Amino acid sequence: MRISLVQLDTIWEDKAANLKRLDAMIMPLINNTDIVVLPEMFNSGFSMDPESLGEMMGEETFNWMKNTAVKGNFGLCGSYIVAENNHYYNRFVFISPEDQVWQYDKRHLFRMAGEEKSFTPGTGRVIFSFRDVRILPLICYDLRFPVWSRSGSDVDLIIYSANWPESRKSVWNTLLKARAIENQCYVAGVNRTGTDGNGIRYSGESAIIHPYGDSIMTADSDRECIITGEISIPFLSEFRRKFPVMNDADDFSIQI
């Protein structure tokens, strides 16, 4: 499977401009990859103004994602602000070219930016299968919480859609590798670049990580770009068979 990460310099709170730029960036990926991953709040930047930017499912951004997935013959995913039942969610949406839809609401809201004051946290994890790859979608701050990211033989790929500031880039790079190693799975983490409307800088450094913890592909710092890497489920299955770490893992339950 080929996975492409779109490292975008998101235009602050301008949905139309961001979708237009993404149209141009994604064009070379049409019929040339399996999954395209976009950053957290890819249509607006990490804004705490959900009243102005939130959409119901099935509106502008959702329809753009649906049409783009069909046109490109790939799964398209990323997070944006969704309004539902008088609540706002930082929602990861994955749409297949066959019009299958999976969604995950960010569980760990970034209190240092006041995200918990504007958004409602998710209440559960989601695991789904796309083109025979089992995927766990997560969002940015979730990366810091190994229990929430914990997987066994039921997950092949963890995807993190993020707006992770440059000031903590060493944490980003370290934890992506840690999540791959401890879960014996592939990890794809996409981050934005540029400076947002609050003056916070983002360095990008999006990456696809091998189950060994090695980088398959890593994006440059401070530059819009797309990186594409391949993952192998037969290799992963054989690695887990030969080195069955999960047979000795501790049992636990997650309390919400």
The active-site residue out of 140, 177, 185, 205 is: 140
Query: Taken in order 168, 172, 174, 175, is the CA torsion positive or negative?
Result: positive
The active-site residue out of 106, 115, 185, 205 is: 106
User: Does residue 106 carry a catalytic annotation?
Assistant: yes
DSSP the chain: -EEEEEE--PPTT-HHHHHHHHHHHHGGGTTS-SEEE--TTTTT-S-S-HHHH-B-TTSHHHHHHHHHHHHHTSEEEEEEEEEETTEEEEEEEEE-TT--EEEEE-SS--GGGTHHHHSPPP-----EEETTEEEEEEEGGGGG-HHHH---TT-SEEEEEE--BGGGHHHHHHHHHHHHHHHTSEEEEEE-EEE-TTS-EEEB--EEE-TTS-EEEEPPBTS-EEEEEE--HHHHHHHHHHS-GGGGPPP-----
Nearest Cα residue to 178 out of 224, 204, 203, 145: 145
Rounded Cα distance between 190 and 209, Å, is 11
The active-site residue out of 15, 40, 66, 77 is: 40
Task: Mention every residue, 6+ apart, whose C-beta is less than 8 A from residue 6.
Answer: 22, 25, 26, 36, 37, 38, 39, 42, 190, 226
Catalytic residues: 40, 106, 140
